[in-house]
Structures are given as structure tokens and as C-alpha cells.
Amino acid sequence: MSAELFSLFYQFADVFAFLILSAAGLAIVFGMMGVINMAHGEFIMCGAYVTVGLVNLGVPLAVAQILAAVTAGLIGVLVEFLVVRRFYKRPLDSLLATWGLSLIVTQSMLLIVGSAVRGIGTPEGSFVIGGYTFSTYRLVLFGCAVAVLAGLYIIFMKTRFGVIARATMQNAAMARALGARTGRIYAISFGIGTGLAGLCGALYAPTMTLIPTMGATFVVESFVTVVIGGANVLLGTAPAAVFLAMIRMALNASYGQIIGQIGMLVAVILIIRVLPEGLSSVLVRRGR
């Protein structure tokens, strides 16, 4: 019985980690900043490729993963400076610009590194509970997801940068009038967002096939989570991931992957119908 319970928790943790890690970066870039970043998946792909490249050069996996996240973050800052900066007041145009960017990046990767890259294997081994074997690395992923949430909370709620960033996102003109360097705040926030996307790719790289279009696997889940979560990253994304993970885990376990996927999307439609502003709108109102 305890094995069954642990199995349920493990499945939940697995889906939860996937949703949080794929959505965390987008929660900042789309949820807070309002940039519809269609290239989110490509930043994830970037994190995965950098990780595998570094590991093949002999860098330890954990170090490679951190460097990959940093790389994606720096590229994000550059992209913000070159492209995204021009589209803050034109969200629909940001969709087109970042979509174009994603097409260019995917095809360039295909031309530069080829259609298939050799994987690096999952570390950490496995453990046994009551007749089931589990991959330890999946629990590491869950731990990372929780750490990312905690990190975001600290950055945006407990630091001076967080206060100014939230002020900038709420009312850029007022923040600028009070002396905040809004341009820099936007660039850093975008960089944190893409860095988290890179981290997601870096963390999942050892468990997946690397192809230039691999980012697409994460994009639906990440947008769904952020849209359900609503504008408030901290109060929205985490509850949304918990909610979607419960639905998906229950349906996956009883009816298989197809029903799990359909069920999750149906739940999303229902929620948006009832709560157009997302889960965080309710939680924020309750909080007041």
C-alpha cells in the first residue's frame, strides 16, 4: 500500500516538476512582462544543447547545467536588446517577432549541429520500493522545481531588485519617474526568464532525445500553466502546476497518456471559461 502511495506521489512530482520547470521562465517573460515569447522552446533547446556539449567536453554534469542556464540567460539579454525591446507596447507583434526568431534558431541548429546529437545518459541510478523501480534523477528534478519556485519568491519578494521589477511591470512610466532604470530592469527580467528556460532544457537534457525541435515538447505545457496561473507568477504558476499535475496524474494512471493529455486540456478550457484572469486572480482577491 505504501508503495502504491509513493508511486502516486512520484507520478505527481514528476508531472509537477515538468510543468514548473517548463513554465517558470515563461511566467516571468509572458506572465509578468507580457511578451508572448514563441521562442521559449528554443531557449529550452539551447540549455539542453549547451549542457550536452559541455558534458562531452568533460565538464561535470551539474556545472554544465548551471553554465547552460547562464548561457541561455545571457543570450536572452542580447535578444531583449536586439529584438524584444521594440515590442513591449505591441504584444501581438512580439508574438510574430519571437516566432520568426524560433524558426531561424531551429533551422540554424539543424544546419550547424545536424539532425541528431548523441545523448549523455541519466545520472544517479534508481531505487526500489515495493516491487517498483524508480529513477532517482526524477526526484532531483522535483527538488529543482521546488528550488526554482523558492528562488523566484526570494528574488521578486525579498530583494530591492524584486520590488523595482514588480513596480516596473505594473507601471513603467511611474517607476521611471521615481528613478528606476526600467530599460535595465526589463532586460534583466527577460534574462532571468530565458535563463530559467535554459535551466529547464539543461535539467531534462540527460533524459531526452536531442533534436533541434525538442523545445516544442515543452511549449504547450508551459503556456497552459502560465495562462491558467494568471498574471501573478508566484501565486499563479505554482497552484496551476499543482492543479494540472493532479488532473494529469490521475487520468494518466487510470486511462493512459492520451486521456491524460486530453483531460488536462479540457480542464484548461473550463478554467479559462470560469476564471478568465487565471487562478492567481482568485487567490489575490482572497488574500486582500
Partner 1 sequence: MNSGRKLGMVLLGAMLGTATAISVAQAAEPPLKVGLLEDVSGDLAFMGMPKLHGSQLAVEEINKSGGILGRQIELIHLDPQGDNARYQEFGRRLLNRDKVDVLIGGITSASREALRPIVDRTTTPYFYTNQYEGGVCDASMISMGAVPEQQFSTLIPWMVEKFGKKVYVIAADYNFGQISAEWNRKIMKDLGGEVVGEEFIPLGVSQFAQTIQNIQKAKPDWLLTINVGAAQDSFFEQAAAANLNLPMGSSIKVMLGFEHKRFKPPALNNMHATANWFEEIDTPEANEFKKRWHAKFPDELYINDMGYNAYNALYMYKALVEKAKSIKLEDMRKVIATGDACIDAPEGKVCIDPKSQHTSHRMRLISVGPKHEVKVEKDYGTIQPYWLGEIGCDLTKKNDKDQYTPSHLPKKS
- Find the part of the chain contacting partner 1 (CB under 8 A) among 24-32, 107-115, 183-191, 192-200: 107-115
Question: Does the protein bind partner 1 through residue 9 (CB under 8 A)?
Answer: no
Beta-carbon contacts of 196 under 8 Å, excluding residues fewer than 6 positions away, are: 21, 24, 25, 28, 69, 148
Q: Which residues contact 142 (CB under 8 A, 6 or more apart)?
A: 13, 14, 16, 17
Establish if 247 lies at the interface with partner 1 (CB under 8 A). Answer: no
- Binding flags for partner 1, 193-222, as an x/- string (CB under 8 A): -------------xxxx-xxxx-xx-----
Measured from the CB atom, the residue of 106 and 182 that comes closer to partner 1 is 106
Which residue, among 122, 112, 100, 105, has the nearest Cα to 45 in the 3D structure?
Answer: 105
| The one among 260, 267, 268, 279 contacting partner 1 by CB under 8 A | 260
- Residue 96 and residue 86: Cα distance in Å, rounded? 12
Quick count: other Cβ atoms within 10 Å of Cβ 101?
18
Using CB under 8 A as the binding rule, whether residue 68 contacts partner 1 is answered as no
121 binds partner 1 (CB under 8 A): yes
Which of 5, 62, 96, 116 touches partner 1 by CB under 8 A? 116
Which of the stretches 72-80, 91-99, 135-143, 276-284 binds partner 1 when contact is defined by CB under 8 A? 135-143
In contact, 16 and 242? CB cutoff 8 Å: yes
Q: Which three cell numbers stand for residue 118?
A: 548523441
In this structure, the strands spanning 132-135 and 126-129 are antiparallel
253 belongs to the binding site for partner 1 (CB under 8 A): yes
Query: Should residue 41 be labelled a site residue for partner 1 when binding is judged by CB under 8 A?
Result: no
Helix (H) or strand (E) holding 206: none
* Candidate residues 88, 99, 134, 161; the one interacting with partner 1 per rule CB under 8 A: 134
Q: Quick one: CA dihedral 136, 137, 140, 145, positive or negative?
A: negative
| Rounded Cα gap, residues 19 and 152, in angstroms | 15
Q: Is 6 in the site for partner 1 (CB under 8 A)?
A: no
Which residues bind to partner 1, rule: CB under 8 A?
A: 7, 10-11, 14-15, 18, 106-107, 110, 114-122, 124-126, 131-138, 206-209, 211-214, 216-217, 249, 252-253, 256-258, 260-261
